[in-house]
């Protein structure tokens, strides 16, 4: 019982830290929020842009997690599903290591459609996939007790967990990206971005591989 509490606490912290990591990454959109606020010359534009980025990111997380929440009620295949998810995440990470180019279709999205841009960016960069092994691990904690529940009840519980994971993750991402955007907007200015732009593409790809490998390890050894 105590081990389950420790495991689920660690997994929820992983959800939060992955959100902070996504928020810091400029590829998830905070520079666009700064740009929108500077162009409109309104403080409210910054908050509005961050809200749209958060909405798009949340929808992307739900779009990835919900299918897995509907599958996880097949408790007898729980380990296989988690290993498959880990392999999928690793594959995405390897692909991003090989192909460093940013998807061209993101440049075609109108700047005013930040929610759509955020949704597509999260999907294209595998942000939602990074959460899958963590989410499946949370669902797996206490699976022995839940295994005898009706499938509908177990599935409903996992759907709620999917929304909770997506919400907590998105909130952490918005806080991290929002703080950076506020500092740059009010004090440093847009020129700071062009002079100190940092690229996390390599770190992002490697982090996907690490998370996927951890998911497989945790599934195989029953964590």
Average pLDDT on 197-210 reads: 79
What is the rounded average pLDDT of the residues 170-195?
86
pLDDT of 143 strictly over 70: no
Tell me, what's the pLDDT at 148? Answer: 47
Phi, psi of 62 (to 5 degrees): -65, -40
pLDDT in tens, 7-26: 788 889 999 999 999 999 88
Residue 42, SS3 per DSSP? coil
Of the two residues 190 and 38, the one the predictor is more confident about is 38
What average pLDDT is seen over the chain? 83
* 49/42 Cα distance (integer angstroms): 11
Residue 5 has a CB neighbour count (10 Å cut-off) of 11
The pLDDT tens digits for 29-71 are 898 899 888 888 888 999 999 999 999 999 999 999 998 887 7
Q: Are 181 and 34 within 8 A, CB to CB?
A: yes
Of 121-125, 170-174, 175-179, 201-205, the least confident: 201-205
Q: Tell me what percent of the chain is helix, strand and coil, each rounded to the nearest 5.
A: 85, 0, 15
How many Cβ atoms are within 10 Å of 60's Cβ, its own excluded? 23
The reported pLDDT for the residue numbered 79 is 80
DSSP conformational letter for 150: -
Q: At 99, is the secondary structure helix, strand, or coil? A: coil
Give the N- to C-terminal CA distance of the chain in Å, as an integer: 13
Burial call 124-163: b when 16+ CB within 10 Å, e when fewer: ebbbbbbbbbbbbbbbbbeeeebeeeeeeebbebbbebbe
Q: What pTM did the predictor assign?
A: 0.86
| Closest by Cα among 146, 40, 215, 94 to 48 | 40
What is the rounded radius of gyration, in angstroms, for the C-alpha atoms of the chain? 18
pLDDT of residue 25: 87
Above 60 in pLDDT, residue 73?
A: no
């Amino acid at each position: 019982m105590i081990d389950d509490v420790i495991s689920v606490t660690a997994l929820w912290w992983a959800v939060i830290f992955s959100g902070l990591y996504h928020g810091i990454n400029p590829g998830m959109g905070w520079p666009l929020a700064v740009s929108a606020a500077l162009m409109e010359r309104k403080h409210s534009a910054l908050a509005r842009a961050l809200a749209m980025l958060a909405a798009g990111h949340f929808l992307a997380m739900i779009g990835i997690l919900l299918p897995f929440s509907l599958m996880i009620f097949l408790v007898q295949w729980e380990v296989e599903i988690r290993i498959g998810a880990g392999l999928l995440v690793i594959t995405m990470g390897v692909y991003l290591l090989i192909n460093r180019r940013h998807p061209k279709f993101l440049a075609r999205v109108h700047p005013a459609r930040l929610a759509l841009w955020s949704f597509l960016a999260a999907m294209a960069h595998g942000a939602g996939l990074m959460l899958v092994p963590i989410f499946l691990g949370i669902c797996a904690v206490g699976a022995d007790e839940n295994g005898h529940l009706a499938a509908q009840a177990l599935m409903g519980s996992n759907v709620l967990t999917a929304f909770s994971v997506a919400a907590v993750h998105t909130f952490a991402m918005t806080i991290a990206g929002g703080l950076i955007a506020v500092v740059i907007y009010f004090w440093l200015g847009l020129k700071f971005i062009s002079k100190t732009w940092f690229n996390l593409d390599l770190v992002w790809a490697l982090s996907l591989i690490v998370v996927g490998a951890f998911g497989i390890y945790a599934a195989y050894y029953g964590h």
